[in-house]
Each structure stands twice: as structure tokens, then as C-alpha cells.
């Protein structure tokens, strides 16, 4: 099966459909995205250029079966297609966040949030519910520890 994201003119993923491989193969049996796009346009009344192939097995720019990752992440409703990067991702959360091609996602200008300490993790386990997390503080450009 091949999966395709139906996107809006603003590159927002509206839905994801799958089609049988035979509907995107050329005369030599080779899969061609453009053939799948034409098929979907004909059968779904949506322009071919707004159907983008996606891989069910790709997330964080890793293929879960050890293959070659395809388009960064499997597309999901509400995600965005970023043609300049050739990936599906969530919307850019803040103006200064940057694209990290190694994991196909947005990163804060200072990197990932800090890891919780073992003591903080132990308190969560003892409580049975999360007690701490880090939230991004946009005005200060910092990761702030929050007690829940």
C-alpha cells in the first residue's frame, strides 16, 4: 500500500489515504509518485499536485524497519508539508525555532529541553502522575521547569 497526504494550498495536511501499489506503477512495475497523484486526482476530485506521498514507516527522520526514511515523518491531519525541506512536520511553534534535518522537526534556538533529574522522575513514579515537565518560555528564550 502507498500512502498519500491530501494537502491544502497552504500545505496543511487535510487527510491521508492509501491506494494499492498497482495504481502508482509504471509499465515496468516501478512506483511513480506522479502516477499515484494522477490516479488520486481522477478519483478524488483534488488537484494532483496537492497529493504528496508519505511513508507510514517514517518518524523523526528514521525508518522503523531500518529502511531509508521518506519525507521526515508520516503525515497526519493538521501537520504541514514543508516543500523547502521535503518533509511533513507539525507547524513551526515559534518564529526563532529552526529546522533540524537530522530528526525532521523544529528545535528551539537553544536545543532540546533539559532531561528531568532522577529525583524528579522518582517523584513522578511515586505519585503515579507526572509532577514535572519543561515548557518553552518564548519571551525569555528558555526552558522552564514547571511543577504540575
How far, in Å, are 23, 24, 53, 88 from residue 28 at the CA level? 13, 11, 20, 29
Given pLDDT bands bounded at 50, 70 and 90, which one contains residue 17? very high
- Domain boundaries defined on the chain: 2-92, 118-147
- Segment 76-118, tens digit of pLDDT: 999 999 999 999 999 999 999 999 999 999 999 999 999 999 9
Q: Is 40 helix (H, G, I), strand (E, B) or coil?
A: helix
Question: Would you state the pLDDT for residue 40?
Answer: 98
Strands (E), 32-148: 51-54, 58-59, 62-63, 80-82, 87-89, 98-100, 105-107, 132-137, 142-147
Cβ distance 88 to 71 under 8 Å?
yes
- Segment 24-62, tens digit of pLDDT: 999 999 999 999 999 999 999 999 999 999 999 999 999
**Facing residues of 51 across strands?**
6
Compute the radius of gyration of the chain from its Cα atoms: 20
- Mean local confidence (pLDDT), 17-22: 97
Given pLDDT bands bounded at 50, 70 and 90, which one contains residue 127? confident
What pTM value is reported for the model? 0.85
Question: Would you state the pLDDT for residue 95?
Answer: 93
How many whole angstroms separate alpha carbon 96 and alpha carbon 92?
9
Cβ distance 3 to 75 under 8 Å?
yes
Amino acid at each position: 500500500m502507498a500512502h498519500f497526504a491530501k494537502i491544502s494550498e497552504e500545505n496543511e495536511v487535510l487527510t491521508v489515504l492509501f491506494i494499492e501499489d498497482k495504481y502508482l506503477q509504471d509499465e515496468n512495475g516501478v512506483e511513480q509518485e506522479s502516477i499515484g497523484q494522477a490516479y488520486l486526482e481522477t478519483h478524488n476530485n483534488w488537484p494532483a499536485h496537492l497529493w504528496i506521498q508519505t511513508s507510514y514507516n517514517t518518524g523523526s527522520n528514521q525508518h522503523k524497519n531500518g529502511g531509508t526514511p521518506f519525507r521526515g515523518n508520516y503525515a497526519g491531519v493538521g501537520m504541514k508539508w514543508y516543500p523547502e525541506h521535503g518533509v511533513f512536520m507539525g507547524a513551526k511553534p515559534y518564529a526563532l525555532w529552526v529546522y533540524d534535518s537530522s530528526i525532521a522537526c523544529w528545535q528551539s534556538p537553544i536545543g532540546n529541553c533539559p532531561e528531568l533529574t532522577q529525583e524528579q522522575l522518582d517523584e513522578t513514579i511515586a505519585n503515579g502522575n507526572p509532577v514535572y515537565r519543561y515548557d518553552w518560555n518564548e519571551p525569555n528564550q528558555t526552558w522552564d521547569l514547571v511543577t504540575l
